[in-house]
């Protein structure tokens, strides 16, 4: 919302300083990433406590738990880097430009990695050669990570092996 106001200020349709509005926007974004970092850290603490209960969970449950822990660790690291980056850009807590730029590159690469198509799993190759649907099995292997996160409707596994055909 503040980006729109800033754009209108740049066109001089709305009075005010676009630089000040931008800094306010970045400070609010910094606080948003700090809240996201707190969320990931509390989830990690809860998962750590759940893992220490000593219950003899099945191997599948341990795999799901490990995947969820990995997801929250990655989210916490990314949120921490975003807090530092946006705090620097907002002149809220200035750091060195190299630190800010490096963290920006790292978080961007993390996003690219999440969007990059995954190569097929060996079972998918064998199933494809036999004419069976190995892709569905791969989606089901990815599904426990999403379901355990508590967002079954929002996070659905992608069909990573499908690419648009060029004709």
Asked if residue 19 is part of any domain, the answer here is yes
Query: Which has the closest alpha carbon to 27: 77, 79, 100, 89?
Result: 89
Q: What does the pLDDT profile of the chain (167 residues) look like in tens digits? A: 777 777 777 877 878 877 777 788 888 889 999 999 999 999 999 988 876 665 555 666 778 888 899 999 999 999 999 999 999 988 888 889 999 999 999 999 999 998 988 887 776 665 666 665 544 444 444 444 444 445 444 444 555 455 555 65
Q: Is 165 a domain residue?
A: no
User: What pLDDT, on a 0 to 100 scale, did the predictor assign at position 67?
Assistant: 87
Q: Is residue 131 part of a domain?
A: no
User: CB under 8 Å, gap of 24 or more: what pairs does 61-66 form?
Assistant: 63/144, 64/144, 64/145, 64/148, 65/148
Give the separation between CA 12 and CA 14, rounded to whole angstroms.
5
pTM beyond cutoff 0.85: no
Task: Let me know if residue 75 belongs to a domain.
Answer: yes
DSSP state at residue 37: H
Instruction: Count up the domains in the chain and report the number.
Output: 1
Structural domain boundaries, residue 19:
2-116
- 69 belongs to a structural domain: yes
Task: Let me know if residue 130 belongs to a domain.
Answer: no
């Amino acid at each position: 919302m503040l980006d729109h106001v800033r754009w209108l200020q740049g066109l001089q349709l709305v009075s005010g300083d676009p630089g000040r509005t931008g800094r306010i926007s970045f400070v609010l974004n910094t606080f948003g990433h700090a809240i996201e970092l707190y969320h990931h850290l509390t989830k990690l603490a809860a998962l750590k406590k759940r893992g220490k209960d000593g219950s003899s969970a099945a191997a599948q449950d341990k795999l799901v738990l490990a995947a969820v822990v990995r997801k929250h660790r990655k989210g916490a690291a990314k949120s921490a880097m975003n807090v530092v980056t946006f705090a620097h850009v907002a002149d809220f807590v200035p750091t060195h430009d190299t630190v800010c730029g490096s963290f920006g590159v790292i978080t961007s690469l993390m996003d690219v990695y999440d969007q990059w198509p995954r190569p097929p799993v060996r079972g998918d190759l064998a199933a494809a050669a036999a004419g069976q649907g190995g892709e569905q099995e791969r989606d089901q292997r990815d599904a426990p990570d999403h379901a355990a996160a508590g967002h079954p409707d929002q996070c659905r596994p992608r069909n990573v092996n499908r690419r648009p055909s060029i004709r």
